[in-house]
């Protein structure tokens, strides 16, 4: 089993990934996304790798028709419960983004917070092709992913720290040729030490543009944040906006 297919990995990391700060940030992030994509009211929006629906719920609150797709069962369950609490409607689908597509349906698609680069190159390309196929002509795709600064100054070595009340021991390795960051961590769970690993391919702006074009999408902007700030070589996050031609 690949690391990203391990439900337990996502369950263990949920308190970090969806901490108070991240949850609180979602509303402003969605305002920025709506502005950046010039989303019309009542748009059909795909939130791909939606997690527990941080952005799906906010988009639905603003009157959009949202479909959230994620391969972690536990997150989809939590996302549905959050919708109930917030009295909004979102269609949540438990599915792998390498497979999900729904031809010509969406006005916009999102893939937020480094939910890309998990797979071998051909499968990452397949994810973009699926999105391109699922968009209507004129539809936009926004990705928020790791920026070029990660490879220019990669995380290295071992460290220990405590976050959200959990003790971590972690080690990073970088393969500059393969442009991959490998990450291994141990964590104390109720007195038992568990070990997990993950790995990400870091794509350059040029590679992202090539992959979008290969899928038939035109890149209309690459930024360092959702505010549309110009991307610099040392930026550790990157936002790519592409459009399916009319
Ligand atoms: C870093 S989280 C981001 C979640 C969400 N986009 C957010 O910003 O809160 C990455 C998400 O990717 C999902 N994921 C990982 N592999 C996936 C796959 N093959 N298909 C669909 N979702 C996947 C995980 O379950 C997780 O929810």
The span from the CA of 9 to the CA of 195, in Å, is 9
Pick the CATH number of 150-200 from 2.60.40, 2.20.25, 3.30.110, 1.20.1280: 2.20.25
Burial code of 202-237, b = ≥16 C-beta within 10 A, e = fewer?
bbebeebbebbeebebebeebbbbbeeeebeeebbb
Q: What is the pLDDT of residues 196-206, one digit of tens each?
A: 999 999 999 99
Average pLDDT over residues 28-49: 96
Given a contact cutoff of 8 angstroms between Cβ atoms, the answer to whether 211 and 124 are in contact is yes
Does the pLDDT of residue 31 top 90, yes or no? yes
Ligand 1 pocket test: which of 50, 58, 69, 70 has the largest number of ligand atoms within 8 Å of its C-beta?
Answer: 70
Does the pLDDT of residue 69 top 90, yes or no? yes
64 touches ligand 1 (CB under 6 Å): no
The span from the CA of 67 to the CA of 45, in Å, is 6
pLDDT value of residue 161:
86
CA 44–ligand 1 middle distance (angstroms)? 20
Q: What does the mean pLDDT of the chain come to? A: 96
147 touches ligand 1 (CB under 6 Å): no
Domain boundaries, the chain: 3-148+203-243, 150-200
pLDDT value of residue 212:
98
pLDDT value of residue 133:
98
pTM (whole model) above 0.95: yes
212 touches ligand 1 (CB under 6 Å): no
pLDDT value of residue 166:
84
Average pLDDT over residues 16-36: 96
Q: What is the pLDDT of residues 77-98, one digit of tens each?
A: 999 999 999 999 999 999 999 9
User: Which protein residue has the closest C-alpha to ligand 1 atom 18?
Assistant: 96
pLDDT value of residue 192:
87
CA 129–ligand 1 middle distance (angstroms)? 18
pLDDT value of residue 185:
94
135 touches ligand 1 (CB under 6 Å): no
Using pLDDT thresholds of 50, 70 and 90, give the confidence band for residue 226. very high
CATH superfamily of 3-148+203-243: Vaccinia Virus protein VP39 (3.40.50.150)
Given a contact cutoff of 8 angstroms between Cβ atoms, the answer to whether 142 and 106 are in contact is no
pLDDT value of residue 91:
98
Average pLDDT over residues 11-29: 95
pLDDT top residue among 38 and 79: 79
Using pLDDT thresholds of 50, 70 and 90, give the confidence band for residue 156. confident
50 touches ligand 1 (CB under 6 Å): yes
Q: What is the pLDDT of residues 180-197, one digit of tens each?
A: 999 999 998 888 899 999
Query: How many CB atoms sit inside 10 A of residue 97's CB?
Result: 25
The span from the CA of 163 to the CA of 70, in Å, is 25
Residues forming a β-bridge with 153: none
């Amino acid at each position: 089993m690949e690391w990203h297919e391990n439900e337990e990995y996502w369950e263990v990391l949920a308190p970090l990934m969806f901490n108070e700060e991240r949850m609180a940030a979602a509303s402003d992030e969605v305002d920025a996304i709506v502005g950046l994509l010039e989303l019309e009211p009542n748009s059909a929006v795909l939130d791909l790798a939606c997690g527990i629906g941080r952005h799906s719920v906010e988009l639905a609150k603003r009157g959009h028709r949202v479909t959230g797709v994620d391969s972690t069962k536990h997150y989809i369950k939590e996302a549905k419960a959050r919708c109930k609490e917030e009295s909004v409607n979102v269609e949540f689908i438990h599915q792998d983004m390498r497979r999900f597509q729904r031809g010509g349906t969406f006005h916009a698609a999102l893939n937020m917070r480094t939910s890309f680069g998990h797979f071998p190159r051909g499968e990452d390309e397949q994810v973009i092709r699926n999105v391109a196929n699922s968009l209507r002509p004129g539809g936009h795709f926004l990705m928020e992913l790791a920026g070029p600064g990660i490879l220019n100054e990669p995380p290295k070595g071992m460290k220990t720290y405590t976050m959200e009340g959990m003790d971590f021991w972690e080690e990073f390795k970088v393969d500059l040729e393969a442009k991959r960051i490998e990450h291994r961590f141990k964590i104390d769970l109720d007195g038992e030490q568990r070990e997990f690993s993950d790995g990400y391919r870091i794509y350059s702006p040029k590679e992202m543009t090539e992959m979008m074009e290969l899928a038939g999408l035109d890149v209309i902007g690459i930024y360092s944040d959702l505010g549309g700030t110009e991307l610099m070589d040392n930026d550790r996050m990157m936002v790519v906006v592409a459009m399916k031609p009319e």
